[in-house]
Amino acid sequence: MQRHTFSPRPNWKELVEQVGLTFHSPPSGVYWDESAYYELTAKEVDELEAGANTLHQLCIEAAQKVVDNGWWNRLGIPEAAVSSILRSWNEDDFSLYGRFDLAYDGKGPPKLLEYNADTPTALIEAAVAQWFWLQSSFSGLDQFNSIHERLIAAWKQLGSGRIYFSSIREFAEDEQTALYLQDTCHQAGLETTQIFIEDIGWDAQRERFVDLDGVQIERCFKLYPWEWMWHEQFAQYLSQAAVRWIEPAWKMLLSNKGLLPILWELFPGHPNLLPCFDSPAPLAGTFVRKPKLSREGSNITVVEGGRTVESTGGEYGEEGFVYQAVAPCEEFAGNHPVLGVWIIAHEAAGVGIREDTSRITGNQSRFVPHLFYPR
Amino acid sequence: MKRSRNVVLVLSGALASGTLAGCNAPSDPEVWQRIDPNGTYTNNYYVSGAGYYHAGYHGWYPYPCNYFDPNRGYYHGGTWSSTPEPETVNASRPTVSAAREATARAGAVRSGLISRGGFGSSARHAGS
Both B13 and B32 in one domain: the answer is no
Query: How many domains are there within chain A?
Result: 2
- Tell me the per-residue pLDDT of A253-267, one tens digit each, with 9 for 90 and over: 999 999 999 999 999
Domain assignment present for residue A261? The answer is: no
B127: domain range?
Answer: 1-25+115-128
Both B119 and B102 in one domain: the answer is no
Both B5 and B30 in one domain: the answer is no
For residue B68, is pLDDT > 50?
Answer: yes
Domain assignment present for residue A268? The answer is: no
Query: How many domains are there within chain B?
Result: 2
Q: Which residues of A277-303 are buried (b: 16+ CB within 10 A; e: fewer)?
A: bbebeebeeebbbbbbbbbbbbbbbbb
User: In terms of C-beta density within 10 A (0-12 exposed, 13-18 middle, 19 or more buried), how is residue B3 classed?
Assistant: buried
With beta carbons under 8 A apart, name residues in chain A contacting B104: none
Length of chain B measured in residues: 128
Both B33 and B20 in one domain: the answer is no
- Tell me the per-residue pLDDT of B3-14, one tens digit each, with 9 for 90 and over: 777 788 877 654
Domain assignment present for residue A320? The answer is: yes
Both B50 and B5 in one domain: the answer is no
Domain assignment present for residue A70? The answer is: yes
pLDDT value, residue A90:
97
Which pLDDT band, with edges at 50, 70 and 90, does B33 fall under?
low
The alpha carbon dihedral of B87, B93, B97, B99 has a sign of positive
β-sheet bridge partners, residue A210:
A201, A216
Both B65 and B11 in one domain: the answer is no
Distance CA(A312)–CA(B79), nearest Å, equals 54
| Interface contact B4-A131, CB threshold 8 A | yes
| Interface contact B120-A173, CB threshold 8 A | no
Host H or E run for residue A244? strand A244-246
Which residue of chain A has the CA closest to B19? Answer: A18
- Total Cβ atoms within 10 A of residue B58: 19
Report the percentage of chain B scoring pLDDT > 90: 12
β-sheet bridge partners, residue B104:
none
Distance CA(A97)–CA(A151), nearest Å, equals 8
Angle at A51 between CA A49 and CA A56, to 5 degrees: 95
Both A124 and A176 in one domain: the answer is yes
A329 residue type, one letter: C
Both A337 and A316 in one domain: the answer is no
Domain assignment present for residue A267? The answer is: no
The residues near A33 (Cβ < 8 Å, ≥ 6 apart) are A366, A367, A368
User: In terms of C-beta density within 10 A (0-12 exposed, 13-18 middle, 19 or more buried), how is residue A7 classed?
Assistant: exposed
Nearest to A96 by CA among A244, A220, A219, A247: A247
DSSP state of A241: S
Cis peptide before A247 (omega within 30 of 0): yes
* 3-state DSSP percent of chain A in helix, strand and coil, to 5: 30, 25, 40
Q: Are A130 and A370 in contact (CB under 8 A)?
A: yes
Both B31 and B20 in one domain: the answer is no
- Total Cβ atoms within 10 A of residue A98: 23
Nearest CB neighbour to A223, from listed B9, B109, B126:
B126
pLDDT value, residue B103:
80
Size of interface A-B (CB pairs under 8 A): 174
Both A197 and A157 in one domain: the answer is yes
The secondary structure of A346-373 as a DSSP string is: TEEEEEEEEEESSSS--TTPEEE-EEE-
Which pLDDT band, with edges at 50, 70 and 90, does B104 fall under?
confident
For residue B31, is pLDDT > 60?
Answer: no
Q: Could you give the ipTM of this predicted complex? A: 0.90
- Tell me the per-residue pLDDT of A323-345, one tens digit each, with 9 for 90 and over: 999 998 899 999 999 999 999 99
A313: domain range?
Answer: 275-324
pLDDT value, residue B29:
41
Both A142 and A49 in one domain: the answer is yes
| Interface contact B9-A131, CB threshold 8 A | no
Domain assignment present for residue A270? The answer is: no
Alpha helices (H) in chain A, listed in sequence order: 12-18, 42-69, 79-90, 123-124, 130-137, 147-156, 172-187, 226-229, 235-238, 259-266
pLDDT value, residue A204:
87
Host H or E run for residue B12? helix B12-16
Both B81 and B46 in one domain: the answer is yes
Both B57 and B119 in one domain: the answer is no
**Is the CB of B49 inside 8 Å of chain A's CB atoms?**
yes
The secondary structure of A267-284 as a DSSP string is: STT-TT---EESSSGGGT
Residues of chain A with pLDDT under 50: none
Both B45 and B2 in one domain: the answer is no
Exposure on the CB side of residue B68, measured as CA atoms within 13 A: 15
With beta carbons under 8 A apart, name residues in chain B contacting A124: 12
**Is the CB of B69 inside 8 Å of chain A's CB atoms?**
no
With beta carbons under 8 A apart, name residues in chain A contacting B10: 183, 186-187
Both A320 and A335 in one domain: the answer is no
Beta strands in B8-96 (DSSP E): 41-42, 46-47, 51-54, 59-61, 67-69, 73-76, 79-81, 91-92
Both B46 and B61 in one domain: the answer is yes
Alpha helices (H) in A19-137, listed in sequence order: 42-69, 79-90, 123-124, 130-137
Average pLDDT over residues B38-50: 84
| Interface contact B4-A225, CB threshold 8 A | no
Identify which has the larger pLDDT, A321 or B89.
A321
| Interface contact A22-B113, CB threshold 8 A | no
For residue B23, is pLDDT > 50?
Answer: no
Mean pLDDT of chain B: 75
